[in-house]
Structure 1
Amino acid sequence: MPTTPARSLRGLVRVVVGVTTALTRSDWRAADRLRTFAGEDGRGVILAVNHISNVDPLLVGSFLVRNGIWPRFLAKASLFGVPVLGPLLRAAGQIPVLRTSATAGDALEHAMTVLERGDSVVIYPEGTITDDPELWPMKGKTGAARLALRSGATVIPIGQWGAQQILYGKRSGCPRILPPKRISMLVGDPVRLDDLRSTPVTTENARIATRRIMSAITELVEELRPEQR
């Protein structure tokens, strides 16, 4: 069965989600697809999202919690060493990724376990905030695809837009909270990957799967943005 946050965190989560909701204007589309596909076979799903801001994990997390999903993000291991934040990430069951380490694969093994027990894993396939100056999704890395092909988990793409109004791209500093910004989330249909599943996972299949995942995300972002790419 899917797990929920530790009891000691539930109050904090409610406060954070409440504040986030109060300070933004939610434009959520096709969120019912989360309830339709998440855990439909007793296994968790992979939620693949575009990455546009240092604040968007908070917004994506709030969106998912308010739609009945407790997300497990694959997050940079360095964040787990930050005072206060690190212990909170661990308590919330988030998954550290050591990107340049020989043990980087441990994060995928951990994610496999999370999926098997029915929880959902959130992955930014790009691996970092996009480098595109207009914040369009860039080329994805194969981690999300490999996890999907190995685990058999469904991949649900999510396009988001609006977080850049609070904090643009890779910039850090004081977020622009007021006036409340419109935060758009659009959930897509599962990415078709069954024809690529093999044991072991091949490099070519992982690349094809990655292109499909990023294409699905980009199409959702195009629908959300007022201008076309």
Structure 2
Amino acid sequence: MSLLQPGLGVPLGAAAVVVRGVLRTVSRHEWRGLENLPDGGCVIAANHVSWLDPVTLADVLVAAGPVPRILAKESLFRAPVLGGVLRVMRGVPVSRGTGDAAVALQHAVDAVRSGDRVVIFPDGTLTKDPDGWPMVGKTGAARLALTTGAPLVPLAQWGPQQLLPRKGRPRLFPRPTMRVLVGEPMDLAAYQGRPLTQALLREVTELVVDAIAELLSQLREEPVPPRWDPRTGSRRPAVAPPAARPEVEGAP
């Protein structure tokens, strides 16, 4: 599998203009923290609230620099309209539970090293948290950042789920506001150069999801609840602060 190139004969710049024009018609936007996005290759970890997220995040990130690469479920590339947008915007399809997932991650590594901004959703799918908060995360963002040594930037968004709910038809009125808050790159110096054990990746993933949740708390002006665990369908106890966590030594 190779990275999908711009398709349908549509230049990236033209696609971005079309996407932006549509979004400006059906929504408002309120973006903060774009100055925290570094120049060059980086990993952007975002919460996942709507199937529209790849489009709304591309709109934000194009305003702050080059067109990003977005990792998204392979099935979305077959969806009407959204699939075409993902292909034109150079999306990276991920087939979870197959060898293609590892291949997609390697393509993402190559993209970051070549200077691209790569967006990944630690939730792995639309959040199942009943209140829309980030779930217990998957380790892809942590692995990608630690493998490449590139900056890892947390990003929180709120609003796309109002325009395109998980279930039901799009809601165009009243026009929702797409709110985005970009955090500062995370300091992962203490984890660089260490073996990428599952225990270490889980620890870094907790830090990443914590950072996203704190940003989302600012957007929503609500406290962060205990993390939703989709495996149990319930909230688990709050995660201890980093200083209280035991050191990771070897594989679990």
| TM-score between both structures, scaled by the size of structure 1 | 0.87
Taking structure 1 as reference, are residues 86 and 53 closer, same or farther at Cα in structure 2, changes over 3 Å only? closer
Q: 1:24 to 1:82 in 2, by over 3 A?
A: closer
Q: What percent identity do the matched residue pairs reach?
A: 44
Identify the residue that residue 237 of structure 2 maps to in structure 1.
none
Paired with 2:128 and 2:34, the residues of 1 have a C-alpha distance of 28
Aligned to 1:31: 34
1: CA distance between counterparts of 2:79 and 2:160? 23
- What root-mean-square deviation, in Å, do the aligned CA atoms of Structure 1 and Structure 2 show? 2.0
Q: Which residue of 169, 184, 190 corresponds with 1:174? A: 169
* Structure 1 Cα separation of the partners of residues 56 and 100 of structure 2: 29
Match of 2:110 in 1: 113
- Look up the match of 1:124: 121
C-alpha displacement at 1:214, in angstroms?
0.5
| One-letter identity of the residue aligned with 1:8 | V
SS in 1 for 2:153: strand
Report the Cα offset of residue 197 of structure 1.
1.8
Q: In 2 relative to 1, CA 38–103 (structure 1 residues): closer, same or farther, beyond 3 Å?
A: same
214, 217, 220: which one aligns with 1:222:
217
Alignment of 1:84-103 (within 5 A): 86=83, 88-103=85-100
Q: Which has the higher contact order (CA 8 A, sep 6+)?
A: 1
Query: Which residue does the alignment assign to 1:204?
Result: 199
1:78 CA drift (Å): 2.0
Distance 1:164 1:86, change over 3 A: closer
Matched, 1:56 2:58: no
The 3-state SS of whatever aligns with 1:89 is: helix
Which moved further from structure 2: 218-227 or 82-91? 82-91
Equivalent residue for 2:153?
156
How far apart, CA to CA, are the structure 1 residues paired with 2:109 and 2:102? 11
Amino acid of the structure 2 residue aligned with 1:225: R
Change (3 A) 1:84 1:226: closer
- Give the counterpart letter for 1:11 in structure 2: A
Conserved? CA contact 1:51–1:126, under 8 Å: yes
Q: 1:78 aligns with which of 75, 80, 83?
A: 75
Q: Go from structure 1 to structure 2 and tell me whether the alpha carbon gap of 1:82 and 1:25 turns closer, same or farther (over 3 Å shift).
A: closer
Kindly tell me: are residues 188 and 88 of structure 1, through their superposed partners in 2, closer, same or farther at Cα, counting changes over 3 Å? closer
Could you tell me how far 1:212 is from its partner in structure 2?
Answer: 0.7
SS in structure 1 of the partner of residue 31 of structure 2: strand
After alignment, is 68-77 or 117-126 more displaced? 68-77
- 1:194 corresponding residue in structure 2: 189
